[in-house]
Amino acid sequence: MKEIKIALVGQPNVGKSHLINSISGATLHVGNFSGVTVEKKEVEFERGGYKLKLIDLPGTYSFHSYTPEEKVTKDFLLNGEYDLILNVVDSNQLEKNLIFSWQIADLGKPMAIAFNMYDEYSRQGGEIDTDKFFKLTIIKSQNVSAKEKFGLEELFEKVIETYEEKNTPRIYYSETIEEEIENLKSLIKDCKFDKRFIAIRLLEEDEDIYKIIHEKPWYVDLLSQIKSSKHRISIEYDNDDVKEVFFEERLALSKGIVSQIAKKARRETLSEKIDKILIHPLLGLPIFLFVMWAVFQATFSLGAIPMDYINSAFVAFGNWFGNLLPNGLIKQAVIEGIIPAVGAVVMFLPNILILFLGINLMEQTGYMARAAYVMDGVLKRFGLQGRAFIPLVSGFGCSVPAYMAARTLKNPKDRLITMLVIGFMSCGARLPIYVLLVSAFFAPSIQGDVMFAIYIGGALTGLVVAKILRIVLFKGEPEPFVMELPKYRFPKLKALLFDLWVKTKMFLQKAGTFIALASLAVWFLSSFPRTDIVKEYSVKIAQIKSEAKKAVLEEKMNREILENSYIARIGKLVEPITKPLDLGWREDVSLLAGLAAKETVVSTMAVLYGVGNTNESSKGLIETIRKTMPFTAAVAMIIIVMFYSPCIAAMSTFYAEIKQWQWRLFYTVYPNVFAYVAALLAVGLIKFLS
């Protein structure tokens, strides 16, 4: 049976994944694209005597790729193996979505279009004439609803027809642009891509295309023509940015075609009615803050329920596994180091999942875009562009993609300011540290409020810092922010569960590998040197018959080993600096470990506080630090975690994005100085008031 490979592309939130899930009897394969951690879905099924293989590419707004997902999509469309493109378009956002469709059409590959969510569009009185669309563009299309599963069979019939007929769409621009495209095409010789596509991408200053052709012998002759063509287009349109000229051309084309093929709804939609409340000038911000407060309340109240069960399970597993191992250093390392440390981190997995569930619900329902709209006015007051909201919110998940998402900010000043304050948005890896300390030192009735204050306080501090940076170092106004609000939709349960499963899997993989290895390293450094101390105490223990007294001596021995260990020496070197914060060497070492990965802060504390030695009736690390750590030290530690440098992976991403060494140095130093001063002021204030 002949196979047709189909590249499934579209802008974010157009329902590509839902379309895949709606194909009954399909075989779904989920993995990652080669070399990156971007999700890859493939579906195989049979239709019309063919085996159809759909490759779901990450959502992307444009061929001008900024995020890792957009780069994956672009790379596959340029270099991947496929027979045709199936472009999924949101029927409710035709003009916006078709701009990307014209870019795809420029590839010169066979292409079909699915006008998805047509059920919503038609209920509002809208209609799309697919026959007329084909006459105008030579692109076969079908009105479909992945949600209600109609139009899918007809869609794949047209996909097969497109494959058999090899329909290659051609989108034509203004006369001036078409002339310059032809001028460039005449100089392009041997190349694996369509000549027209190469010419267009060169005019749009596509770096990836430049890299592909710059070694060609005809490249030198082409350069002068590119310069001449861009100059003529700039003069003709009175715009030096040729990319913007093409955007305007495609937008005009979209408007023209939509006006001929689509009958738009006239009555007020449900989304518009809801928006009157959620993005109200006065009510919008309080509603957003209430939603975030509710998410953090749920994070604590619901997340606390399974914590004891997970803790008990790890204690029981440690006891069971310990009985299987012979006495010795290996048993100690596993029972006192790895298992309790990993358990101390995994215990907070429910809290993390609840937080991500809340953020996911906001994204899937369409509320996150409204939050960006509401926050635009706030961000402008602090010298940030409205589009900065996306990387800033991403920072609550992980700083690495947040830094990459900042690429969407075209203005270099806006982009750099945003990246310098992303670290003030507490990533998911810091949540276990907050939960540990808040659970230990604050009453259950206010724990959710304290957590909300931590996250909002960090974000507000970041905005204040952004304003200072704008006034002192980056003078000027941020660029205006323009966005289109998507329709509200009910969240897809399957997509929510799948996303939570992926995050759980990644978290447990990290806990079972990196955190376990880090815990083993911390245990080793906290258990050696020990020879002389063990010899001294072994003689004393051998002379005592009482088991209770032996246990006391063994505990004293372990405490002395820890106090004289390698890791204690490291901590005590830092201790004079952090002494004004009431932090001990254990906290210092834990915070230093957090520079590698924030998850290791909790696991390091679990090892250094000897949680592996506690019995089954103990409440573990929370109870231990409640008894041993001063309240001022806990507050200082929370503030330092809020503001000090992110993990090595995030810092490396910043360095890769920002090439200037002076900004790299500033970024490396200022968060840590800021965190120390803020913690010092907080501790001083608490002591003054008490």
What is the structure's pLDDT at 38?
53
Whether cis (ω within 30° of 0) applies to the bond prior to 529 is yes
Between CA 82 and CA 7 the distance in angstroms is 6
Separation CA 294–CA 334 (nearest Å): 39
CA separation, residue 353 to residues 266, 303, 316, 325, 431 (Å): 41, 9, 24, 34, 11
DSSP 387: G
H/E stretch holding 5 reads strand 3-9
pLDDT at 266 over 60: no
Q: At what angle do helices 493-510 and 349-365 cross, to 10 degrees?
A: 150
Query: Would you say residue 368 has pLDDT above 80?
Result: no
Q: What is the pLDDT of residue 223?
A: 84
Cα–Cα dist 55/5, whole Å: 8
Confidence of residue 27 (pLDDT cuts 50, 70, 90): low
Q: Which residues contact 577 (CB under 8 A, 6 or more apart)?
A: 676
DSSP tally for the chain: helices H, then strands E: 34, 9
The answer, yes or no, to whether residue 332 has pLDDT greater than 70, is yes
Reported confidence tier of residue 186, pLDDT bands at 50, 70, 90: confident
Q: In a 10 Å sphere around its CB, with 0-12 CB exposed, 13-18 middle and 19+ buried, how is residue 62 labelled?
A: middle
Q: What is the band of 654 on the pLDDT scale with cuts at 50, 70, 90? A: confident
Section 579-601 average pLDDT: 85
Query: For the range 193-198, what are the long-range contacts, defined as Cβ-Cβ under 8 Å and sequence gap of 24 or more?
Result: 193/78, 193/107, 193/108, 194/106, 194/107, 194/108, 196/106, 196/108, 196/170, 197/106, 197/107, 197/108
Buried b or exposed e, range 276-304, using 16+ CB within 10 angstroms: eebbeeeebbebbeeebbebbbbbbeebb
Where is pLDDT greater, at 442 or 124? Answer: 442
pLDDT beyond 50 at 395? yes
Tokens of 295: 């998410």
- pLDDT value, residue 29: 52
Domains defined for the chain, CATH in brackets: 3-165 (3.40.50.300), 175-263 (1.10.287.1770), 288-527+631-689 (no CATH)
Mean pLDDT within 45-67: 81
The answer on pLDDT for 182 being more than 80 is yes
Reference 621, options 454, 432, 431; nearest CA is: 432
Contact 126, 80 (CB under 8 A): no
Q: What is the DSSP string of 302-367?
A: TTTTTHHHHHHHHHHHHHHHHHHSPSSHHHHIIIIIIHHHHHHHHTTHHHHHHHHHHHHHHHHHTH
User: Would the pLDDT of 30 be above 60?
Assistant: no
Which region among 55-64, 192-201, 330-339, 482-491 has the lowest average model confidence (pLDDT)? Answer: 482-491
Q: Which residue has the higher pLDDT, 553 or 357?
A: 357
